[in-house]
Amino acid sequence: MTTKQLISEIKKKQSFLCIGLDVDLNKIPKYLLQEEDPIFAFNKAIIDATHHLCVAYKPNTAFYEAYGIKGWKALEKTINYINENHPEIFTIADAKRGDIGNTSTMYAKAFFEDLSFDSVTVAPYMGKDSVEPFLAFKNKHTILLALTSNQGAFDFQTKEVNGKELYKQVLETSKTWESSENLMYVVGATKAEYLAEIRNIIPESFLLVPGVGAQGGNLQDVCKYGMNDSVGLLINSSRGIIYASNGADFALMAAQKGKQLQVQMAEVLSKQFQ
């Protein structure tokens, strides 16, 4: 999917919501465990109930890898289900990969070709030759970790190296790489106060912003400082939506939580883009 198509979908749905499909078998309704593939059954119900409210789905691969071959199969069924039924939805494999060049190429093939995701999250710390193999894929997107939502972001990312914070060096350097138009960046919603400065460095790029809901990030602050002329934001919520209930009404309740965020997003968009 191109960025242009993503922006057009955001405007159409009046939403820049990304729903995180982080499936934990201990948290889903007990009766689903009798299904042949409980993870896929859960995801299918969530997707059926929420696809009109969001523009992106983000399965975090850890929640699938943890269940071995069955988990990986469920991930494959989930991405195929989204691509077949809702091809207009942007898909993110949240895998946080990155390695020496030839290995990164294999990671990119796994997520872009075998699983047909639109994007994958990548850690920047092995540098240019570890990221460019992902960028080489046309109409696919590499979402680089810039300033993450967790407390540990302060251990390295905000530390100054040669007079400049490391996350700023990640932003400035990565935008000079080949095919950098395929880059997006992760900035945690819990770091909203950094967004204005981040926008000075990368005014055009899309930001994936996790951390609203369960981690306490604030949607209004993220929009105020992070939005650009093309919206430029995908705001993710995982647990806050998919575990709204663990009863038979789980999908309905997830849709209600998703709707609450979508309504707030529509309000922001109507003010910003009249």
Ligand X SMILES: O=C(O)c1cc(=O)[nH]c(=O)n1[C@@H]1O[C@H](COP(=O)(O)O)[C@@H](O)[C@H]1O
For the annotated catalytic residues, the residue numbers are 96
First to last CA, the chain: 26
Letters for 173-202 (x = contact with ligand X by CB under 6 A, - = none) are -------------x-x--------------
- Choose between 43 and 236: whose C-beta lies nearer to ligand X: 236
Q: How far apart are CA 196 and CA 200, in angstroms?
A: 7
Is 236 an interacting residue with respect to ligand X (CB under 6 A)? Answer: yes
Is 246 an interacting residue with respect to ligand X (CB under 6 A)? Answer: no
Is 211 an interacting residue with respect to ligand X (CB under 6 A)? Answer: yes
The least distance separating ligand X from the CB of residue 85, rounded to whole angstroms, comes to: 23
Paired tokens of 19: 């729903």
- Choose between 94 and 132: whose C-beta lies nearer to ligand X: 94
Residue 228 DSSP label:
B
Paired tokens of 219: 């949607």
Is 128 an interacting residue with respect to ligand X (CB under 6 A)? Answer: no
10 Å Cβ neighbour count for 201? Answer: 16
The least distance separating ligand X from the CB of residue 63, rounded to whole angstroms, comes to: 8
Q: How far apart are CA 24 and CA 65, in angstroms?
A: 11
Binding-site size for ligand X (CB under 6 A) equals 19
Among 142, 149, 157, 174, binds ligand X (CB under 6 A): 149
Interaction residues for ligand X, span 10-49 (CB under 6 A): 20, 22
Residue 188 DSSP label:
-
For residue 209, which phi and psi values (nearest 5 degrees)? -120, 95
Listed in sequence order, the residues at least 6 apart from 6 whose beta carbon sits closer than 8 Å to its beta carbon are 55, 56, 90, 206
- Choose between 115 and 271: whose C-beta lies nearer to ligand X: 115
- Choose between 70 and 239: whose C-beta lies nearer to ligand X: 239
Residue 223 · residue 233 · CB < 8 Å: yes
The least distance separating ligand X from the CB of residue 93, rounded to whole angstroms, comes to: 10
Select the span of 36-44, 173-181, 195-203, 232-240 touching ligand X (CB under 6 A).
232-240
10 Å Cβ neighbour count for 162? Answer: 6
Interaction residues for ligand X, span 75-94 (CB under 6 A): 94
The least distance separating ligand X from the CB of residue 236, rounded to whole angstroms, comes to: 5
Among 116, 215, 246, 260, binds ligand X (CB under 6 A): 215
- Choose between 102 and 260: whose C-beta lies nearer to ligand X: 260
Q: How far apart are CA 75 and CA 70, in angstroms?
A: 9
Is 54 an interacting residue with respect to ligand X (CB under 6 A)? Answer: no
Helices and strands (H, E) in the chain, number of each type:
11, 10
Closest CA to 21 of 269, 242, 260, 256: 242
Residues within the interface to ligand X (CB under 6 A) = 20, 22, 60, 94, 121, 148-149, 186, 188, 210-211, 213-215, 236-240
